[in-house]
Amino acid sequence: MITISLCMIVKNEEDVLARCLDSVADLVEEIVIVDTGSTDATKEIAARYTDKIYDFEWIEDFSAARNYAFSKATCEYIYTADADEVISTENREKFRHLKRALLPEIEIVQMKYGNQLQFGTVYNYDEEYRPKLFKRLREFVWQEPIHEMVRLEPVIYDSDIVITHMPKGSHAHRDLQNFRKQIGAGVRLSKRLQNMYAKELFLAGEEQDFLQAEEYFQATATDPERGFEEVREACCVVARAARLRGDERTFFKYVMKVIADDEGGCSEACLELGLFYEQLGDPEEAVIWFYNAAYEVTPQLALISGRQWPLEGLVRCYRALGMEEQALQYEEEVRKLQ
């Protein structure tokens, strides 16, 4: 049976930490807690479960904190968890079976991260695989009988274990602040981080968040080193910001770049056009774009852009047009999503 170190980074998690540790403490051989500046009872709660509690000065870098936590682990494998996660009774049994049966060549185990949509996270699926268990020390192996080479790709196993995500609330405000700090420091966001920033904006951003992000995404939209998807999501952000500012010229410049691209548009761009015409007092035109957002194209950044939001727009517009039967039809579609 493998041995596992649980590694966590925490800050002011007194409301949820015990719940998390109660569900996982007896599944691991070692618990490493790295605190990044708690001012509540987090460290006192952690001390009930382990004496391996370390302080790490927060430097606006989650990876640095996690790397420090990993450096303190001593077991064969490392399990990484956030304080707002819980493992159910059924999945605890699956975890125990995994410990007994895991083959030594497996270097990463992915587990399903569940309950995502309930809390408006940046992830567009209620369950999705995430790497959660890592072999602490990797062995490099030569392969192929001739023209031999070292295997560089890790051996990954997709388990059926589901980790339940139960946060106290949305982390959007914190995350958006962190993105702005990185950009303000001159950091060029990677493709992945830019995508996360755009998703966070569309799922949880307020008007001011879009306005503060507009300049960065406008630069991205004209950056020759950015790929098609990066430019597309940047245009969506700029179009939303321009609409909020009432800048019709900029709005149409960027929204039409998406509508006219090789993919034929996306739900976010069509939704923006629907909202634009609705605000203009033209519900008949808005209906066309809300319908397209819901049924003719797919979301680029947020599933809700192709589901609930355009359907709600159709309800409002048909009601404004005095077409109650159609409004009730789409109201029923909205109910089915809830």
pLDDT digits (tens, 9 = 90+) for 237-249: 999 999 999 999 9
Judge whether 39 and 10 are in contact, CB under 8 Å: no
Q: Which domains, ranges and CATH numbers included, belong to the chain?
A: 4-165 (3.90.550.10), 172-337 (1.25.40.10)
The ranges of the chain with pLDDT < 50 are: 116-117, 119-123
Question: Residue 279 corresponds to which tokens in the numbers above?
Answer: 């605000």
pLDDT digits (tens, 9 = 90+) for 174-189: 889 999 999 999 989 9
**How do strand 4-10 and strand 53-55 relate by DSSP bridges?**
unpaired
Q: What rounded mean pLDDT belongs to the chain? A: 93
The CA distance from 74 to 246, in Å, is 57
Q: Which of 22, 4, 166, 27 is CA-nearest to residue 94?
A: 27
pLDDT digits (tens, 9 = 90+) for 46-105: 999 999 999 999 998 999 999 999 999 999 999 999 999 999 999 999 999 999 999 999
H or E element at residue 160: strand 156-165
Q: Which stretches does DSSP call E strand in 25-99?
A: 30-35, 53-55, 77-80, 85-86
**pTM, entire model:** 0.77
